[in-house]
Structure 1
Amino acid sequence: MKTILITGSTDGIGKVAAIKLAKAGHIVLLHGRNEEKLKKSVSEVKELSGNDKIRGLIADFSNFRSIKNLVAEISKEIPSIDILINNAGVYKSPVENNQNGLDIRFAVNYFAPYILTNGLISLLKRGDSPRIINLSSAAQATVSLRALEGIETISMQEAYAQSKLALTMWSFNFAETYPEITTIAVNPGSLLNTKMVKETFGHHWSPADKGASILYEIASSEKYKNSSGKYYDNDQGGYNEAHKDAYDRKKITNLLATTKNKLDDQYDKNYN
């Protein structure tokens, strides 16, 4: 039995994956930003899985203070985490920027999992064969550091693709930094039947179960135990090469330095 945290798990592939993992008897921590929706999802997962070891956690991933509060709550009440699935993401949004002036795609898709994961490292290290699954995408584009910092405005499509490449670059570096934690970046599949895809594109190519199934498999199968630092492309049904920038040491170093500086600056202004 594993303790598994899935972000963005009140709908889409996160919720379907949660149901699959709950049916397998694991302790599943659901995350959402809407309290009512989260309570409903927790009840549904319990009912569908016959598993009462389900808990809901609230945080707004566009708000860095909210993420920090979530880290504090988890650290106080959960002794260890075996699997962290960074699934929460946004493409189309009624709000273009978060309260820090950052593009909402960068804030939720990249900065949020960065803050959450780094805040939970001690719990992950206590986990049983710990794994991190970072939800990447087939859409990956060279990261503009000015856009990352909120200085340059780019299109919704570009911001999404850049945020997903940033996540992948960080994922590869994290795998090197923490070899004791298996860290895998995953494209769960393009245009899956999820709320995000419906709102953005109005159509889909594949069922949500396609993405949920690969998350379940990577989270639970021993065959992925030694696959840290890799990119799994579910469109291709196996490991694949990510964007070339994900292997560029200089670009990764610049990305992480810019990320740290931006977060340090935000914390100095808002948290001290």
Structure 2
Amino acid sequence: MSKIILITGSTDGIGKLVAIRLAKDGHRIYLHGRHSEKLDTVIAEIKQVSGNNNIDGFVADFSDLQAVDNMANVIKKQLSKIDILINNAGIFKSPIDKTKDGLDIRFAVNYFAPYILTNALLTLLKTNTASRIINLSSAAQSTVRIGALNGEASVNVSEAYAQSKLALTMWSFDLAKQLEAVSVIAVNPGSLLNTRMANEAYGQHWSPATKGSDILYDLAISDEYNGITGKYFDNDKGDPKGLFSPAHSDAYDEELIKQLLKHTEEVLNKN
């Protein structure tokens, strides 16, 4: 059965690869990108290689949280439901460290943006009892410091990235508890995949990008994962593919999660 699937950060990397594969299966795919020209180019490309014309997209710079909110409003006007949301957009290295709101750009793109988008789209996801939310976490996870979260303290790139990914994982686990019918899975798609982000950050890769896109594909639509929620999938473990594994211990600490969400709302209300 054809599904309606929204994939953020899907104009390149594993987001684009999984979009192509899902498009070839005949699903209705909605891409997301920062630039309208590139988005239009990728939409045309995927239509051509997949033979599927049910491809469209939305534009927003995820370092601008107001733009994320605006995109969510556009989506709600255009769509009546979403079956699968893959929060894939992410950033490591960047020409700038702070957003116009004074937040570390890694926290903005990797955590606040999917937090805003997902919560805004929950009404569309809840229309289908088999809906899934796949949040792109990482093997790099580090205890979230409130100063780093709200932009008052400066931390190095690697630390900001690791904190933002743990914040995403902690929120994912809490969201899973709040949603009865919608599955929420946080996933490390694999370390140092052959993507632009990894190559720019480290100048090397360990595995092909398809390792990441293949697990996103499986987690999004495979019956193998029906009813599974509130878990962390580690694609660095297992053979030939990963397995569900413990995340950072903070992701299971209810008090830390409560504090994270409290400060998250404070940051968003201020901005």
Same-fold call, TM cutoff 0.5: yes
Which residue identity is paired with 1:255? L
**Alignment partner for residue 238 of structure 1, among 240, 243, 254?**
243
Which residue of the partner structure matches residue 270 of structure 1?
Answer: none
Give the TM-score normalised by structure 1.
Answer: 0.97
Distance in structure 1 (CA, Å) of the matches to 2:44 and 2:256: 44
Which residue identity is paired with 1:183? V
Matches within 5 A, 1:96-245: 96-127=97-128, 129-236=130-237, 237-245=242-250
Which residue of the partner structure matches residue 44 of structure 1?
Answer: 45
Q: Cα distance, 1:128 vs. partner? A: 5.2
After superposition, give the CA deviation of every residue in 1:63-93 in whole Å (9 maximum; x if it has no partner).
Answer: 0111111011100011100000000000000
Distance in structure 1 (CA, Å) of the matches to 2:181 and 2:129: 10
Which residue of the partner structure matches residue 269 of structure 2?
Answer: 264
Give unmatched runs, 5+ long, in structure 2.
Answer: none
Q: Cα distance, 1:56 vs. partner? A: 1.6
Which residue of the partner structure matches residue 5 of structure 1?
Answer: 6
Matches within 5 A, 1:6-45: 6-45=7-46
Distance in structure 1 (CA, Å) of the matches to 2:129 and 2:269: 32
Q: Cα distance, 1:127 vs. partner? A: 2.9
Q: Cα distance, 1:252 vs. partner? A: 0.3
Contact 1:3 1:83 in 2 (8 A): yes
After superposition, give the CA deviation of every residue in 1:37-82 in whole Å (9 maximum; x if it has no partner).
Answer: 1111101111111100000210010101111110111000111000
Q: Cα distance, 1:204 vs. partner? A: 0.3
After superposition, give the CA deviation of every residue in 1:204-261 in whole Å (9 maximum; x if it has no partner).
Answer: 0001000000000111111111210000000111000000000001100000000011
Contact 1:3 1:81 in 2 (8 A): yes
Q: Cα distance, 1:131 vs. partner? A: 0.3
Distance in structure 1 (CA, Å) of the matches to 2:182 and 2:162: 26
Distance in structure 1 (CA, Å) of the matches to 2:123 and 2:93: 34
Distance in structure 2 (CA, Å) of the matches to 1:92 and 1:218: 27
Contact 1:2 1:128 in 2 (8 A): no
Give the TM-score normalised by structure 2.
Answer: 0.97
- Where 1:56 maps in the other structure, the secondary structure is strand
Which residue of the partner structure matches residue 269 of structure 1?
Answer: none
After superposition, give the CA deviation of every residue in 1:5-31 in whole Å (9 maximum; x if it has no partner).
Answer: 000000000000000100111000000
- Where 2:32 maps in the other structure, the secondary structure is strand
What number of residue pairs does the alignment pair up?
266
User: Are residues 1:253 and 2:254 paired?
Assistant: no
Which residue identity is paired with 1:77? Q
Distance in structure 2 (CA, Å) of the matches to 1:157 and 1:218: 27
Q: Cα distance, 1:172 vs. partner? A: 0.2
- Where 2:6 maps in the other structure, the secondary structure is strand
Which residue of the partner structure matches residue 54 of structure 1?
Answer: 55
Distance in structure 2 (CA, Å) of the matches to 1:240 and 1:167: 16
Give unmatched runs, 5+ long, in structure 1.
Answer: 267-272
Identical positions, percent: 57
After superposition, give the CA deviation of every residue in 1:81-117 in whole Å (9 maximum; x if it has no partner).
Answer: 0000000000000010111100000000000000000
Distance in structure 1 (CA, Å) of the matches to 2:127 and 2:12: 29
Distance in structure 1 (CA, Å) of the matches to 2:149 and 2:26: 40
Contact 1:5 1:85 in 2 (8 A): yes
Which residue identity is paired with 2:84? I
- Where 1:114 maps in the other structure, the secondary structure is helix
